[in-house]
Structure 1
């Protein structure tokens, strides 16, 4: 078997400042309070930078700047707004290598994923929505749809820059202004995006970025002058947001947790399915809301598929996220690692059988090996709760009807995957699965032209595609 020599991406391309303020009205400003958080590299626990914590007064400054900028930005012809958004997209492409390294340092994901998945999609979202900016009257939401006003946006730590693009690009294209709160553990690419806005000469106040923890996000959501709330994150926080905006005039989209079923039928191309399973749950260390964390495999091929899957997992390389050979990076934080360990221990305690490949774990940082549980029952916590880590629960089924019943037996409904050679079976399954996205013989495929969102406790509203415009328009 070949040994891979280290192939690290250089850190020198990234210039991380020791300390960051808040980005309000096109300027870097100091917070009114004394609060500061440290953001760390999860692969080494090294402190990368100190970041300001915005209080309610800081959030108010940002919202007022966005409100003032809205009068200028919303009145601008769509073709003019498009020029700024196109410019942002091009700068992201020009700085893609730098942004990918920064993302991997701050988040822990392998550089191959940051470079080959995240950054191309980030640029593509800005290009796509720039194209819509002067065509809104043809989007199917009436002849003259109007922007809502100030959008308060709170994004998670698993895809920091991509989630920013999903939210900021359609908001700007529709003529809204933005107050964005990145996750406290991964603020650095959002702060780099602030510099990109300046580089693109975006009018001051159109995009404002306030850093901090949950209290900062709560202040953004609750501010009376915010017209639109967009949130991606946990179902628990989504519930709190829904309660806080209930009865207000605010428009809300929530993209929350998931417990997706990846369903493999006996006629599927098993080697292809194995790759899809690996991509479905071990991509980005399983820090994916639509991860295929439940594998439903037809009984007749379960043993063959699991043998092939274990062989494949034995070839995955865990380690330095900046090494181009790395498949599994670091868990984003100590708190997330503790949650993954707790749920995995619960799986063993409830009687499921745990397996991981031989996998050396680095001494420093937050790490968890790729893990497969067999003998899982529907009642087990690992089959019901979102683990948000590299942990796969395997269940079996005999008939398509049983597969549908097991797949839908969850409070979530964000995504699903179906592996079969029969087109009729694929369509039969897709029409019965209660999931916002159903992938056919693939998994985790994203495109800016395609809508994404969930049912039930996975949230409401859609992001991406023409559907993603509706959330930012007074229809």
Structure 2
């Protein structure tokens, strides 16, 4: 597999001198060393993407031909399914079952979904109030897109961005997380194999400084970023200071889970364990704050603790393990720090709470009860297998519960567990989040919009809504009178 940069159809070493080790989080051992792109490398990648926009080999493709390239890429992902899954698990740590069923299968499905959209994007004719005048609209590519991806689902989240960008005729420069770059590099190899012309897909690796170069570059037209809210704010400022480039930002989350008195408690326990521990809790939409009706709290906590005790923990490559490591030593320290604040803020630790003494970056599934709404673990994004449980009284006004659930700067996802459709709808309507899941874990689908309210970001990915992020809408006026 390539460990170079891919610029204008060629694999090349960086003109800089620094490099970054990518680590297997289940062992702490180095897998690969990837280069850190220099300013010159970033400039070259953006220039290649800019030139490719007007290259007839890309710009003049018929819709059915562009769709064909995406269908070919999806088929190549299918052909290399197991290879990609093993690589994702080794580089990121997620259990191999998640890599197969969620990451790689999801990547192929997203590419195929947007391949289908290529021949279905339409403009409109509009009834303007001018005589002898035709007005119609057309969608055109935004231009050069910087796709900056996170380390938790590196392959799948890249395809959330790459597929609609290519479907709409754009060109891209990809910057994967320096922590987990390997499946992104492999996907770019498959793009070349599928036949995308030189310059259409480029990739530069490195740390946050490389991402900053992209977000500040005056020749980038759109940045699609998934990651922390703090970095999202920096990207917003960089856009304002340069060319007001378009932004799509999917940022942090602190999803509430409300368990009503009438909930199927066993279903709620199973769904919340999955929603809280999927990918070791390293999910923006992970269920992290649990509001349980007081009469069901003890039963819920006892069953959650018992269920977590049965979850097999270990290296993701072992088929029997359900919970893998955290992604890095740095992130493990972050989780430890926040867990330590739980008891300091008056919560009771009833399960877990510490790193596991073995090679790699493993952390015990952790449960706190009696957590105050003001506690750090109820407000800060932990991004680990940590559950903070508090109670509410069924006699409280529903809007009081909604206010508690909304007491966060984030608004990416939430969940409600109830048998009563009226309760589910009132809560779903009142919670300020981009996605509310009723009686199910937080797994997005390619056909539904995905994005957040408040500090969880701007814009929507997936479904037809993603097409808006990657196209400009042009209005054409034609006067045909004398």
TM category (shorter chain) comes to over 0.9
- The partner residue of 1:390 within 381, 385, 388 is 385
Larger Rg: 2
Q: 1:425 to 1:138 in 2, by over 3 A?
A: farther
SS of the counterpart of 2:424? helix
Aligned-partner Cα distance in 1 for 2:273–2:125: 38
Match of 1:32 among 7, 15, 18: 15
> Given the superposition, is the C-alpha separation of residues 139 and 185 from structure 1 closer, same or farther in structure 2, using an over 3 Å criterion?
farther
Q: CA deviation at 1:351?
A: 1.4
Q: Retained in 1: the 8 A contact 2:414–2:433? A: yes
Q: Distance in 2 between matches of 1:275 and 1:335?
A: 30
Task: Say which SS state the counterpart of residue 133 (structure 1) adopts.
Answer: helix
Q: 1:87 aligns with which of 72, 86, 92?
A: 72
Q: Distance in 1 between matches of 2:59 and 2:116?
A: 16
Calculate the aligned-residue CA RMSD, in Å: 1.7
CA shift, 1:172, in A, is 0.4
Q: Which residue of 2 aligns with 1:97?
A: 82
Q: Which residue of 2 aligns with 1:439?
A: 437
SS in 2 for 1:293: strand
C-alpha deviation, 1:138, in angstroms: 5.8
- Structure-2 residue corresponding to 1:461: 459
User: Which moves more between the two structures, 392-401 or 101-110?
Assistant: 392-401
User: Higher mean Cα deviation, 193-202 or 136-145?
Assistant: 136-145
Segments of 4+ in structure 1 off by > 6 A? 139-142
Distance 1:153 1:474 in 2: 18
Describe the SS at the equivalent of 2:258.
Answer: strand
Relative to structure 1, the CA distance from residue 428 to residue 196 in structure 2 (aligned partners, 3 Å threshold; closer, same or farther) is same
**Which residue of 169, 174, 180 maps to 1:180?**
174
- Cα offset for 1:75? 3.2
Question: Post-superposition shift, 1:276?
Answer: 1.1
Q: Could you tell me how far 1:360 is from its partner in structure 2?
A: 9.3
Partner of 1:10: none
Task: Write out per-residue CA displacement over residues 195-239 of structure 1, whole angstroms, 9 at most, x where no aligned residue.
Answer: 101211111111101000000000111111100111000000001
Give the drift of 1:319.
0.5
Query: 1:11 corresponds to which residue?
Result: none
Distance in 2 (alpha carbons) for counterparts of 1:357 and 1:241 = 36
1:359-410 deviation line (CA, Å, top 9, x unaligned)? 9935211111100111100111000100111111111112433321111011
- State the distance in 1 between where 2:313 and 2:366 align: 12
Distance in 2, matches of 1:374 and 1:356, equals 10
Residues matched between the structures, number = 458
Answer yes or no: is 1:65 the counterpart of 2:48. Answer: yes
Choose from 78, 95, 100 the match for 1:115.
Answer: 100
1:32 match: secondary structure: coil
What CA deviation, in whole Å up to 9, does each residue of 1:266-311 have, x standing for no partner?
1111111111111111000111111111111111111111111111
The question of whether the paired residues in 2 share the 8 Å contact of 1:263 and 1:296 is answered with yes
**1:271-286 paired onto structure 2 within 5 Å:** 271-286=266-281
- CA distance in 1 between counterparts of 2:445 and 2:268 reads 21
How far residue 467 of structure 1 moved from its aligned partner, in angstroms, is 0.6
Task: Tell me how far 1:136 sits from its aligned partner.
Answer: 1.5
- Secondary structure (helix, strand or coil) at the match of 1:369 reads coil
Is the partner of 1:38 in helix, strand or coil?
strand
Alpha-carbon distance between aligned partners in 2 of 1:140 and 1:441, rounded to the nearest angstrom: 42
SS in 1 for 2:15: coil
Aligned to 2:133: none
Partner of 2:222: 228
Aligned with 1:163 (options 157, 163, 176): 157
Give the structure 1 partner of residue 329 of structure 2: 334
Counterpart of 1:22 in structure 2 is: 5
Q: 2:318 aligns with which of 323, 338, 351?
A: 323
Question: What does residue range 51-62 of structure 1 map to in structure 2 within 5 Å?
Answer: 51-62=34-45
How do 1:201-216 residues align onto structure 2 when only pairs under 5 Å count? Answer: 201-216=195-210
User: Residue 302 of structure 2 corresponds to which residue in structure 1?
Assistant: 307
The residue aligned with 2:476 is none
Q: Say if 2:413 and 2:442, in contact at 8 Å, map to a contact too.
A: no
State the 1:445 CA deviation: 2.3
Question: TM-score by structure 1 length?
Answer: 0.94
Consecutive unaligned residues of structure 2, counting only runs of 5 or more, are 127-135, 474-482
Q: Which stretch shows the higher mean deviation, 352-361 or 450-459?
A: 352-361
**Higher mean C-alpha deviation, range 347-356 or range 55-64:** 347-356
Q: Which residue of 32, 37, 41 corresponds with 1:49?
A: 32
Q: 1:74 Cα shift?
A: 3.4
Post-superposition shift, 1:260? 0.5
For structure 1, the 5+ residue unaligned runs are 1-15
* CA distance in 2 between partners of 1:300 and 1:140 (Å): 59
Q: Deviations over 1:321-366 (max 9, x none)?
A: 1011111101101110010000000111111111325999352111
